[in-house]
Amino acid sequence: MSLPMHPPLPLYLGLSQWSHNHWLQSLYGKGCKNSDRLSRYAEVFHTVEGNTTFYAIPSMTTVKNWNDATPESFRFTFKIPQTITHQQQLRHSNQSLVDFLNTMSPVEEKTGCWMIQLPARFAPNDLPLLDAFLDQFPKHVTTGVEVRHPAFFAKGDEEKALNRMLLEKGSNRIIMDSRPVFSATPNTDAIIDAQKKKPRVPVHAIATADNPVIRFIGHPDDACNDPFFKNWLQRLPLWIAEGKTPYLFIHTPDNNRAPESAVRLYKSLQQQISSIIALPDVKLPLHQQQDQQIKLL
């Protein structure tokens, strides 16, 4: 299998999904077929969290369709199936991983990072399992690891051991920034659900490899995200100046206006970093731009 040939972008911006019914009024446009949603999404954003593979392994035909729907510059970040990370808990999973990667081979060159999301019960004593699991990936493949056990956020020996191992393996530590959503008053079903499901862990902005991954779980009131995003306006330019290529994913509790939020935050980063490097423009479809302009009046 060959390596990706398209020159990387300085930063990849994306959302937590590519299909959302609410976006028919904005990102896709009215009348867009379900089968066309990914291609419309990829006209605006550079990457996406591939959550679908966490819950079920797709057919190779479906994977080929995903490849056909996206440009060469697009990058998926597919999650390793939960059967491997949560059920097998990385044990005796070599064949399962091989089978999964074989099924996903049509989009290998467009997969910027294979995301290993571990459950909260994955503890420091389990690190040897992760060490062995990372060795099962082909050397040229980029991986990212998301941990949720409190010990990995305590800045003690356990966290140092995790970071040291990721540095040695060249694997990225996925950074969850859930501060914005937990600052929201739990007065809607979407916020309550998000605060139940998303981990409330400290933000440790450490890059253990070349593609730091930030999952920014936003406040439903977009303007309330600015104080939390301010730190990333400082950190992301530093990483880019070091030659790293970050992945930035924007969530909101119901994701209804996640595209608008992502583009607005990206433009603030674009302005912040303009003296260092020119980030490519991200533009909403014309009808959505008009809608956003009306809301800003």
- 44 near 27, Cβ under 8 Å? yes
Asked whether residue 295 carries a pLDDT value surpassing 90, the answer given is no
Domains of the chain, by residue range, sit at 12-273
Q: What are the φ and ψ backbone dihedral angles of 53, each rounded to 5 degrees? A: -75, -15
Residue among 175, 171, 168, 118 nearest 141 (CA): 171
Sheet holding 172-177, edge to edge: 75-78, 47-50, 12-15, 247-251, 213-217, 172-177, 143-146, 114-117
Is 12-273 a CATH 3.20.20.410 domain? yes
pTM of the predicted protein model: 0.92
Asked whether residue 291 carries a pLDDT value surpassing 70, the answer given is no
Nearest-10 crossing angle of helices 127-134, 157-169: 10
| Distance (Å, whole) CA 14 – CA 48 | 5
Sign of the four-CA dihedral 27, 30, 34, 40: negative
User: Span 273-291, mean pLDDT?
Assistant: 73
Give the chain's mean pLDDT.
Answer: 92
Q: Position of tokens 């992945």?
A: 247
pLDDT digits (tens, 9 = 90+) for 54-109: 999 999 999 999 999 999 999 999 999 999 999 999 999 999 999 999 999 999 99
Asked whether residue 294 carries a pLDDT value surpassing 60, the answer given is no
Sign of the four-CA dihedral 64, 69, 72, 73: negative
Angle at 50 (CA atoms; ends 271, 76), nearest 5 degrees: 60
Convert the chain into a string of H (helix), E (strand) and C (coil): CCCCCCCCCCCEEEECCCCCHHHHHCCCCCCCCHHHHHHHHHCCCCEEEECHHHHCCCCHHHHHHHHHCCCCCCEEEEECCHHHHHHCCCCCCHHHHHHHHHHCHHHHHHECCEEEECCCCCCHHHHHHHHHHHCCCCCCCCEEEECCCHHHHCCCHHHHHHHHHHHHHCCEEEEEECHHHHCCCCCCHHHHHHHHHCCCCCCCCCCCCCCCEEEEECCCCHHHHHHHHHHHHHHHHHHHHCCCCCEEEEECCCCCCHHHHHHHHHHHHHHHHCCCCCCCCCCCCHHHHHHHHHHHC
- 152 near 118, Cβ under 8 Å? no
Q: Position of tokens 């009024």?
A: 25
pLDDT digits (tens, 9 = 90+) for 134-175: 999 999 999 999 999 999 999 999 999 999 999 999 999 999
